[in-house]
Structure 1
Amino acid sequence: MSEPIWYPSAAYTQGSHLERLMHKLGLSTYQALYEYSVQDLEGFWEATVHELGIEWMQPYQQILDISQGPEWPHWFPGGKLNLAYNALARHLPHRAEETAIVWEGEDGQIVRLSYQMLEAMVAKAANGLTRLGIRKGDRVGIFLPMLPETAISALAVARIGAIFVPIFSGYAAEAAATRLNDAEAKLLITADGFYRRGGKVNLLQAAREAARISPSVEKILVVQRFGEATLQPDEVTWNDLVSAQSPAAPYEAMDSMDPFMLIYTSGTTGKPKGTVHYHAGFPIKAAQDIAHLFDLREGETLFWFTDMGWMMGPWAILGGLTVGGTVFLYEGAPDFPDASRLWAMCARHGITHLGISPTLVRALIPHGEEAVAKHDLSKLRVLGSTGEPWNEEPYKWFFRVVGQSRCPIINYSGGTEVGGGILGCTVWRPIKPAGFNTAAPGIKAVVLDENAQPVTDQVGELAVLGPWPGMTKGFWRDPGRYLATYWSRFPGIWVHGDWAVLDGEGHWTIHGRSDDTLKIAGKRVGPAEIESAAVAHPAVKEAAAIGVPHEVKGETAVVFIVLKPGNEPSPELSQAIGETIAARLGKALKPEKILFVPDLPKTRNAKVMRRVIRAAYLGQEPGDLSALENPKAVEAIRLANT
């Protein structure tokens, strides 16, 4: 077992959010706080929302109602609030002129918005949305890169009581449309394009095609990043709509469990799942984790390299603003025009909290330490990472080179359905490389064996033994799938789908997904989406996608193809199928390999056994094959990789 790489100090514990909370609760140690947080959920969460300064338009009647079971908790029943108010207007009396958002474009353009300026811009956007006919409960797609308007849009939609649907800016039209159609979005907010590695990405083309195959979309609202596109009759520019509006607008009083966001995550089968997040859930959980784990303080700046379509985009914006910090957004590539771009921005904007994925760290290491060393990173105080498991070499490089062996790495793992982290790190405990030194306060996490018994020092299922604000309010219009995904393994217990180990010293390690979901460069995608895109090629009869280890991305996709009669395997056909997948899902999700096989391993009820495929491909023991209808297919998988 590795030794700690970082130890607590007064510089991190004194003046922290946790110190204030512990003082209010009369607790003297972090262990006492954590135990209190899971033994008295109502007391802990009431103290937390008070410490965060959350303001209510109507007081709640109680903290938690679980009369419908832990699967369907009702948080703060009777209470009314608005997340946008708590992210913006609440701060105006004492932080109006402080910086709320800093944005940098890949071309070097910089925008700085104070809380007062952001409040006015969000009000104007809210009025513009109302003018377009958007009302409480309507869904609005946000298909944008990280621009100032991305944050403004999300806050404006929430302000009027509508529901936003963030969509990864790298998705092709079909993947975007899948989410728009499921949500029945009425409006799509997009941009005419954005910069990526010096080139202009035509996002509007993909947005138009997505809207064309999404009958519910009535209009497209276009942010003119370049101002070069000729608009169509059902399109309106952001400036034309928003600039003429009043800089004052009301905040809709929302019930605590009213949705504000549908953010989609993929599973192992079927269409993407629309996780439903509510005003007194995800924003409170995000702010709590940013305060209790990352300790972002007023006047500090959070930069998480992400996209609005991944959970960490809304998490950083809503959580960072709710705690009164500054949120930095960046549009482009982290290594353009050279490998020092990321570090140059940290120095230029005084970033105190930097979050990047293990994949990005692995990609930046080959550029050398000089790219980092030539920039002043003395303002950095906390490093963060999420999205996938670490290995020790890049973790230690991040700690030593970027953090200068002084900044803690707050490793963070949870998910879109969680609204934040299940596991994390606290600066009140020593931190060992590549793992986690705590479950998030308020999360009663355990590792369970096959009999649902808690275990230590052995691999088991990561599970949570109670509800928390931020857990999804089911899946959009699919409660049965939600229950089957998280609550069917052990009654009354949230089983997350990760293999984990908790050692006797309280240190956690995650060993990867216990289901078939892929995480490509930290981006979660279901095999069914990749397989559906592959089958769209006219030569493909069947497809099976698996995730395999990748040196840089952490995990990448390999797709096995069964061809229709009359087609023969060839490098050209492999390339064409790969391009078909990329055209539908986006280049970031293009498979590493396309391999041809005569058949796929299946059970007698025709379920494709991806577990067996992955084991055979990697040369591992595939386990019990007795359920297979066609065990000879396994040998074909092995031969395909020779």
Structure 2
Amino acid sequence: MTNYQIKTFEDYQEAYKASVEDPAGFWADIAGTFKWHKKWNTVLEWDFEKPDVKWFVGAKLNITENCLDRHLKTRGNKLALIWESNDPKERFIRYTYRELHEKVCQFANVLKNNGAKKGDRICIYMPMIPELAIAVLACARIGAVHSVVFAGFSAASMADRIQDADCSMVLTSDGLNRGAKQIPVKRVVDEALQTCPSVKKVIVVERLGWAVNMVEGRDVWYHEEVVNAAKECPAEEMDAEDILFILYTSGSTGKPKGVVHTVGGYMVYSQYSFSNVFQPEESDVFWCTADIGWITGHTYLLYGPLLNGTTTLMFEGIPTYPDAGRFWQVVDKFGVNIFYTAPTAIRSLMGAGEDHVLSYSLDSLKVLGSVGEPINEEAWYWYYIHVGKEECPLVDTWWQTETGGIMISSLAGVTPTKPSHAAFPLPGIQPVLLDSDGKEITDNEVEGYLCMKFPWPGMIRTTYGDHERCRLSYFSTYKGYYFTGDGAKRNKDGLYRIIGRVDDVINVSGHRFGTAEIEEAINHNKHVVESAVVGYPHDVKGQGIYAFVICNEPPRNVDHLRAEIVETVAKKIGKIAKPDKIQIVSGLPKTRSGKIMRRILRKVAEGDTSNLGDTATLLDPDIVDEIVKGAL
């Protein structure tokens, strides 16, 4: 076993042991496979109380040389990026590693020609087009900090993020395609920039060919700028602890938190986790369906695959356009071998029926992955049976924006899997379960608060411009630990199952129930496609359980259905967990990454609908009005 490329369960056990006994040696071995301008003086310095964590101290590098340049000799003509349009009739685009290198250098030169330099923060607000991936790498090439804002956020949300990071430049497009809709992206940027004086330049990529407002002296067209851009651009030398990117994540209160990841540690961890969790082979095509606006897109659409020399697929569209077979059509079209998506997508495709899957062969698939939330058993089996034909290992990955990469997951075909369990920690990751007093629970068959007791290279370094917020959010709850905010169970074999956010735990008469646990029970009902559960104040129990339920067709008798659901939950978990209120809805308030906005559902359940906050970032803002009107 070289540099901890784990191929057997024995490899896993050996690597895990080594990672705990000698963490510095373990990570130095892995980091040794990359191109560094200067090696590190010290592998790790850390203090969780401040918090202050530094990896590969004193090392110099550029991440894009590791994503692109080092592959040119051996993989120059290999496909690096495949792009598939929203419209199945539009021609796809393919770039080899050599071509992608050239495109990144050209974009980097456009940035420099427009005044961008090392250390500048650059906001990217772009649809899922090849130029988005190229722009991200171009920023990293010149040492500018990229802050990708999902091209679906409102102007106000975008302005908040630009102001917080003090961005000097915005990279965007005229518009975007999403399913049957076309959306004016540049118009949102113009609105946001009315309150962002720090932005001096806007570079606009043409996607729809729309006439857009161009502010003289500030806005330029990318296609006009790139004509004169050289195809070579030297990579800026960066310190391992220089900022690579800021990515904003919603806090439970207040403004979004700008999570900071640094160059060296993030590079090492994204490649290491990608290669071991998904077990890619040289000829594999990997498809992560996430938008680059989210951490999953950063780590497993872009950086992880390219650092590994893998072919990565990027998709502009949505799973249900022009019909619910679109994902499977793309898998067959490009011979996708490894497919990584969210439970939300799987459940929506389940609801559309099996015919859409059965129309495609899916013979190329070797590994399936799930990300974003715990996957319920019903969705797990549907995915495993109908998509993977019971032959593909299914990795149920647990991680966060703040962790940079996958932390707990089975390794495809290598370590044990169990439906709706994230399974074992990756070597190098040291999770613990704590009780409410902050004491470690060492037994199995237990549940507690999921924390990390030792640093890993991909972890958050700070929240941009507000280090105290980072300390309070992640390091103050349990002294000496990184607190994930999640509750988890560890079964008799040591496999972890994520219960869900601690703030998504409902305390009914002193009994704690994870929302995911109750939702899974509800979803066992044959009429139910998906559900979301929240707690609300209850005079007798402390908290009552309010369930929002989507059915595969409008129920003939709502009362009968409610009684059935209550019976199912009582059977699966116990009578104490049965929902007090069940509202039938046609959809749930979700972000475009598929995350359910429970904050909104909690307010509806509590009857406090006067201030639901910004709903413009939701996939379907209208669904909130419907839920409010039907509230019980």
Residue 624 of structure 1 corresponds to none
Q: How does 1:244-393 map to 2 (within 5 A)?
A: 244-316=228-300, 317-393=302-378
Is the counterpart of residue 442 in structure 1 residue 424 in structure 2?
no
Q: What is the CA distance between 1:256 and its match in structure 2? A: 0.3
Separation in 2, partners of 1:90, 1:20: 19
Determine which of 391, 405, 410 is the counterpart of 2:395. Answer: 410
Q: How does 1:588-603 map to 2 (within 5 A)?
A: 588=620, 592=624
For residues 24 and 297 of structure 1, do their structure 2 counterparts lie closer, same or farther at Cα, with a shift above 3 Å needed? closer
Determine which of 45, 52, 61 is the counterpart of 1:81. Answer: 61
- Matched-pair contact (CA < 8 Å) for 2:85–2:92: yes
Determine which of 66, 72, 75 is the counterpart of 1:92. Answer: 72
Q: What is the CA distance between 1:508 and its match in structure 2? A: 1.0
Q: What is the CA distance between 1:277 and its match in structure 2? A: 0.8
Residue 531 of structure 1 corresponds to none
Q: What is the CA distance between 1:351 and its match in structure 2? A: 0.9
- Matched-pair contact (CA < 8 Å) for 2:48–2:482: no
- Once the two structures are superposed, residues 215-236 of structure 1 have per-residue CA deviations (whole angstroms, 9 ceiling, x without a partner) of 2111211110012223332211
Residue 187 of structure 1 corresponds to 169
Separation in 2, partners of 1:428, 1:26: 5
- Once the two structures are superposed, residues 266-319 of structure 1 have per-residue CA deviations (whole angstroms, 9 ceiling, x without a partner) of 111211110111111223211111111111232212211111221011112011
Separation in 2, partners of 1:391, 1:345: 25
Structure ranking higher on relative contact order (CA contacts 8 Å, 6+ apart): 1
Separation in 2, partners of 1:284, 1:326: 19
Q: What is the CA distance between 1:595 and its match in structure 2? A: 8.3
Separation in 2, partners of 1:547, 1:313: 33
Residue 453 of structure 1 corresponds to 440
Q: What is the CA distance between 1:84 and its match in structure 2? A: 0.9
Residue 629 of structure 1 corresponds to none
Determine which of 39, 44, 55 is the counterpart of 1:59. Answer: 39
Residue 223 of structure 2 corresponds to 239
| Secondary structure class of the residue paired with 1:274 | strand
| Secondary structure class of the residue paired with 2:319 | coil
Q: State the one-letter code of the partner of 1:87.
A: C
- Matched-pair contact (CA < 8 Å) for 1:384–1:410: yes
Determine which of 365, 387, 395 is the counterpart of 2:380. Answer: 395
Q: What is the CA distance between 1:457 and its match in structure 2? A: 1.8
Q: What is the CA distance between 1:168 and its match in structure 2? A: 1.0
Is the counterpart of residue 224 in structure 1 residue 257 in structure 2?
no
- Matched-pair contact (CA < 8 Å) for 2:105–2:232: yes
Is the counterpart of residue 142 in structure 1 residue 124 in structure 2?
yes
- Once the two structures are superposed, residues 27-85 of structure 1 have per-residue CA deviations (whole angstroms, 9 ceiling, x without a partner) of 944222212222221111112223xx311011211211236868312111111011111
Is the counterpart of residue 106 in structure 1 residue 86 in structure 2?
yes
Separation in 1, partners of 2:5, 2:234: 36
- Matched-pair contact (CA < 8 Å) for 1:419–1:471: yes
- Matched-pair contact (CA < 8 Å) for 2:86–2:178: yes
Segments of structure 2 that go 5 or more residues without pairing to the other structure are: 507-513, 517-544, 551-586, 589-594
Is the counterpart of residue 178 in structure 1 residue 160 in structure 2?
yes
Separation in 1, partners of 2:331, 2:626: 39
Q: How does 1:416-435 map to 2 (within 5 A)?
A: 416-426=401-411, 427-435=413-421
Q: What is the CA distance between 1:458 and its match in structure 2? A: 2.3
Residue 572 of structure 2 corresponds to none
Q: State the one-letter code of the partner of 1:459.
A: E
Determine which of 452, 468, 493 is the counterpart of 1:480. Answer: 468
- Matched-pair contact (CA < 8 Å) for 1:143–1:167: yes
Q: State the one-letter code of the partner of 1:453.
A: E
- Matched-pair contact (CA < 8 Å) for 2:120–2:145: yes
Q: How does 1:142-161 map to 2 (within 5 A)?
A: 142-161=124-143
- Matched-pair contact (CA < 8 Å) for 1:70–1:466: no
Residue 513 of structure 1 corresponds to 501
- Matched-pair contact (CA < 8 Å) for 1:266–1:517: no
Residue 573 of structure 2 corresponds to none
Residue 215 of structure 1 corresponds to 197
Q: Over aligned residues, Cα RMSD in angstroms?
A: 3.0
Separation in 2, partners of 1:389, 1:549: 18
- Matched-pair contact (CA < 8 Å) for 2:422–2:496: yes
Q: Percent same amino acid at aligned positions?
A: 32
What is the TM-score with the length of structure 1 in the denominator?
0.80
Separation in 2, partners of 1:561, 1:67: 41
Residue 532 of structure 2 corresponds to none
Q: State the one-letter code of the partner of 1:66.
A: W
- Matched-pair contact (CA < 8 Å) for 2:485–2:501: yes
Residue 557 of structure 2 corresponds to none
In terms of mean alpha carbon deviation, does 320-329 or 436-445 score higher? 436-445
Segments of structure 1 that go 5 or more residues without pairing to the other structure are: 1-18, 522-545, 563-568, 598-639
Is the counterpart of residue 471 in structure 1 residue 471 in structure 2?
no
Residue 601 of structure 2 corresponds to 558
Separation in 1, partners of 2:309, 2:282: 5
- Matched-pair contact (CA < 8 Å) for 2:432–2:440: no
Separation in 1, partners of 2:16, 2:250: 31
Q: State the one-letter code of the partner of 2:73.
A: P
- Matched-pair contact (CA < 8 Å) for 2:65–2:235: yes
Separation in 2, partners of 1:146, 1:285: 24
- Once the two structures are superposed, residues 240-271 of structure 1 have per-residue CA deviations (whole angstroms, 9 ceiling, x without a partner) of 11232000010001000000100011111211
Separation in 2, partners of 1:119, 1:506: 44
- Once the two structures are superposed, residues 148-186 of structure 1 have per-residue CA deviations (whole angstroms, 9 ceiling, x without a partner) of 101100000000000000111111111111111101111
Q: State the one-letter code of the partner of 1:98.
A: K
- Matched-pair contact (CA < 8 Å) for 1:425–1:431: yes
Separation in 1, partners of 2:113, 2:463: 30
Residue 615 of structure 2 corresponds to 582
In terms of mean alpha carbon deviation, does 146-155 or 278-287 score higher? 278-287
For residues 404 and 20 of structure 1, do their structure 2 counterparts lie closer, same or farther at Cα, with a shift above 3 Å needed? farther
| Secondary structure class of the residue paired with 2:406 | strand
For residues 561 and 549 of structure 1, do their structure 2 counterparts lie closer, same or farther at Cα, with a shift above 3 Å needed? closer
- Matched-pair contact (CA < 8 Å) for 2:169–2:199: yes
Separation in 2, partners of 1:46, 1:27: 22
Determine which of 71, 92, 95 is the counterpart of 2:51. Answer: 71
In terms of mean alpha carbon deviation, does 31-40 or 431-440 score higher? 31-40
Separation in 1, partners of 2:546, 2:187: 30
Separation in 1, partners of 2:7, 2:614: 54
Residue 591 of structure 2 corresponds to none
- Matched-pair contact (CA < 8 Å) for 1:274–1:475: yes
- Matched-pair contact (CA < 8 Å) for 1:106–1:330: yes
For residues 70 and 425 of structure 1, do their structure 2 counterparts lie closer, same or farther at Cα, with a shift above 3 Å needed? farther
- Matched-pair contact (CA < 8 Å) for 1:172–1:586: no
